[in-house]
Amino acid sequence: MGGAEEARCSVVCIQGGYITCDNYPYQKLDGCACECAPKDGQNCVLHLEHGPPSNCPPQS
């Protein structure tokens, strides 16, 4: 993960949001960008307070 991505994922989302992943059941993971999803996350979805949920591409 690069410095900009680390900084983006280490701060609390101002706009409010969380990430859910199939293999992390019943957990709302911190993050307001798909880059913040766990590397081993499966079928992760980004949920922002304002806007529809969006599917995150698989992390490499």
Question: pLDDT tens per residue, the chain (60 residues)?
Answer: 445 555 567 666 777 899 999 999 999 998 889 999 999 999 999 999 888 999 999 876
Q: Does residue 50 sit within a domain? A: yes
Q: Does residue 60 sit within a domain? A: no
Which structural domain, as residue segments, surrounds residue 51? 3-55
Q: Does residue 45 sit within a domain? A: yes
pTM, two decimals, is 0.80
- Return the structure tokens found at 13: 């989302």
Count of structural domains, the chain: 1
The CA-atom distances, in angstroms, between 24 and each of 19, 21, 37, 51, 54 are 10, 5, 11, 22, 17
E-only strand ranges, the chain: 17-20, 29-30, 45-48, 54-55
Residue 3 contacts by C-beta under 8 Å, 6 or more apart in sequence? none
Q: Does residue 8 sit within a domain? A: yes
